[in-house]
Amino acid sequence: MTKRLKCFIYTRVSTEMQLDGYSLEAQRERVKKEAVHRGMKVIGEYSDEGKSGKNVSGRPEFQQMLNDISRMNADSRPDYVLVFKLSRFGRNAADTLSSLQFMEDYGVHLLCVEDGIDSAGAAGKLMISVLAAVAEIERENIKEQTMAGREQKARNGEWNGGFAPFGYKLVYNDRNRGELQIDEIEAELVRIMFDKFVNTDMGLAGVAKYMNESGYRKPLRNNSSVERFSSHFVKEVIDNPIHIGKIAYGRRRTEKIDGTRNEYHVVKQAKDSYELYEGNHEAIISEDMWYKAQAKREVNGYKREKVHSLDHEHVLSALLKCPVCGANMYGAVNRKKKKDGSGEYYTDMFYYVCKNRKLVSGHLCDYKKHVRQDLIDDEVEALIIKAVNDIDFSNDVARELNMNTDVDELYNEIERLEQAKKKEELKKKKLLNQIVSLDPEDDLYDTLYEDLSNCLQEFTRNIAEIDASITRTKISIEGVRSKQLSFMTIDELKAFTKKVFTEMPDSAKKEFMNYIIESIEIFPERQKNGRQVKSIKFRIPAFLNELEGEGVVPRRDEIEEIELGGNSLPNESHDETVVLLSQQKPDDVIEVEIELDELDLTSAESKATYKEIQEYVLKEQGLKVSNLYISQVKNAIKKDCVRKCGIEVGENYNLPKSEDSRQPQCPEEKGARGPVDLCSARTEAERRQAIKDALEHFGMI
């Protein structure tokens, strides 16, 4: 019996081809009829809508089809790929032949229905080579004709299409051609921007700041979703000759990238290298004001040389949080030239500033303080070293990291993250295609490019965050498998931490900080004791477990307590920070937050650890009590103190988060006849009093 052939169907349209009647549906219907006629079974369909055929990179579905061909085994792989015409497969000869050869290497042939070409035979391959070259020539001719038509339209003073530039609206005439008319609301904003830029000492950022702080807002329109003004937007308005009634042609040109076969990029042209034609639209400002603005731009618009140290890293950039608005703080440099005429500079001074104080989009935060990097960096380093050297903290973290964990759950987590990454990459790819398809000659090109680029940055950040989560999960798998962090290797961790801060460059410090720290909160002003760090939330590569802080009750059975504090991290308002860890589903990190409200790094107030409290109770009362029970009693004492002060306490204060949460119980000890309840002979009041006596003994209440 003859084997039935299998095939993929590929269809593609560009905007121009849709107008010619070669719609996706029309192509699909014709190709499917051919498959039925030849007795082929369609096992996959791929379609690129609105994609150019100039190269493969801009066609995600085409690339997916080739990837699927390479991944499928020989039995399930198609015998043919069917396309409507060769031009739908590609219009670039090199790409067409390369893609065809790729398919042929896997035993897959190409069938062009309308052209009647089958690559299975030698004649078919020859015909494809010839027609591919013809298709490429045709594409270049279409491109040249289109550009010539656009230039002629500019000579006639007509708008070349796209969204209307800021200050104008698009009105269609009886010939259905768009004409520019002044939008008075936007035009008034244009006049204000030019007036402030030309007649004051404001720069682009200064004008943007003035517009935002004066309450002016951009009207929302189809190509702009941001009301506030940025320096980039002001620059585009100031530089655009459309506002003096001119039509520019050739401000940006598409040029071939050297060393590539068919890759192009948009190159902005110098002001004296493109043509200005008299437009049919009305001017918003005078030519005199526009040229004055351009003269000022020439003086102020040169590219500044970076003068500060190129190897300096802002170690805590994006980790520090603004104490006013909570936004990330980023590095800044202040460099001043000496006034002695020597031409030399003072030593660079580096600071952290709130990102919402950036001038490009106006001031969105009132925190003006520049936080000195050297002081805050040293303070954070000292706190990290103290945390790492806390014995109880290190041992308990090591024990938690080495708990038996279902590695399959971690692999499932990686798979979930990979799927999320693919979705974000697909969104990013589609957005890139939108950016590539922008018309460089459109007066709104820069505005559209800026808006799309902002969205692109968001997708890029999302992908980076997912990559970081994948990396941390993989590290967790390695940690579980090899148990790299154990009681023996804690000393190695301490040694490595010391080495990072004493021997390694700032770049290594920054990488290390981002690895172990989630966020750092600071006080608005440096405190009397010289401190500015309020709290640090650590990021430990393992699983996300119970929340940090006092008064937290565990939710699962397998519980460990990690005590941060004692002699290493004293605190008057919080005796210590207790992190209750439970085995639950894997996630990115264990979050450990250390509150530092009254921390003094030079003179630590002595406080007892849980171990010392347990030893005292056992010695004085003959009782063994758990860490969790001590914590519960302490919190109950605090609750009583709060009520005595006349402060209302909710009914859920210090209660478990869920009904199945484990309640604190007295520990059991195995004796000769089995487990013995060490607390059975004592009343609840006696047990509480024993712990209270110990807390009073150590001066903790």
The active-site residue, picked from 14, 52, 230, 394, is 14
Q: What is the pLDDT of residue 108?
A: 92
210, 301, 589, 664 from 651: Cα distances, Å: 51, 64, 31, 19
Asked if residues 128 and 100 have their Cβ atoms less than 8 Å apart, the reply is yes
Would you state the structure tokens that stand for residue 259, as one six-digit string? 């060393």
Tell me the β-bridge partners of 594.
536
Q: What is the pLDDT of residue 391?
A: 66
Q: What is the pLDDT of residue 514?
A: 83
Measure the CA dihedral 385/388/389/392, to 10°.
Answer: 150
The tens digit of pLDDT for each residue in 513-557 reads 887 788 899 999 998 888 899 988 876 543 222 223 332 222 222
Share of residues in the chain with pLDDT > 70 (%): 64
The 8-class DSSP code of residue 657 comes to: S
| Mean pLDDT value of segment 20-48 | 86
DSSP 3-state percent helix, strand, coil across the chain (nearest 5) = 45, 15, 40
pLDDT score of 20 more than 80? no
pLDDT score of 499 more than 70? yes
pLDDT score of 597 more than 60? no
How do 674-677 and 668-671 pair as beta strands? antiparallel
Q: What is the pLDDT of residue 100?
A: 85
Question: CA–CA separation, 597 vs 398, rounded Å?
Answer: 27
Respond yes or no: is residue 486 known to be catalytic. Answer: no
Q: What is the pLDDT of residue 662?
A: 41
- Cβ neighbour number for residue 118 with a 10 Å cutoff: 17
Count the alpha carbons within 13 Å of 205 in the hemisphere toward its beta carbon. Answer: 8
Asked if residues 293 and 238 have their Cβ atoms less than 8 Å apart, the reply is yes
Q: Which amino acid appears at position 221 of this protein?
A: R
Question: CA–CA separation, 344 vs 492, rounded Å?
Answer: 45
CA-nearest of 104, 86, 105 to 96 is: 86
Tell me the β-bridge partners of 247.
277
| Mean pLDDT value of segment 151-180 | 80
Question: CA–CA separation, 699 vs 370, rounded Å?
Answer: 39
Question: CA–CA separation, 570 vs 414, rounded Å?
Answer: 39
pLDDT score of 262 more than 80? no
Would you state the structure tokens that stand for residue 295, as one six-digit string? 């003269």
Sheet containing 80-83, strands listed edge to edge, beginning at the edge strand earlier in sequence:
41-49, 6-13, 80-83, 109-112, 117-118
Between helix 184-199 and helix 287-300 the angle, nearest 10°, is: 50
pLDDT score of 17 more than 70? no
Q: What is the pLDDT of residue 258?
A: 62
The tens digit of pLDDT for each residue in 435-460 reads 777 776 776 777 777 777 777 777 77
Residue 278: φ, ψ to 5°: -70, 125
Q: What is the pLDDT of residue 116?
A: 85
- Give the distance between the most distant pair of CA atoms in the chain: 105
pLDDT score of 298 more than 70? yes
pLDDT score of 580 more than 80? no
Q: What is the pLDDT of residue 140?
A: 66
Q: Is 517 helix (H, G, I), strand (E, B) or coil?
A: strand
Q: What is the mean pLDDT of the chain?
A: 72
Q: What is the pLDDT of residue 542?
A: 30
Asked if residues 668 and 677 have their Cβ atoms less than 8 Å apart, the reply is yes
| Mean pLDDT value of segment 290-305 | 78
Decide: residue 298, CB within 10 A, 0-12 exposed, 13-18 middle, 19+ buried: exposed
Size of the chain in residues: 701
pTM score, whole prediction = 0.38
Q: What is the pLDDT of residue 16?
A: 46
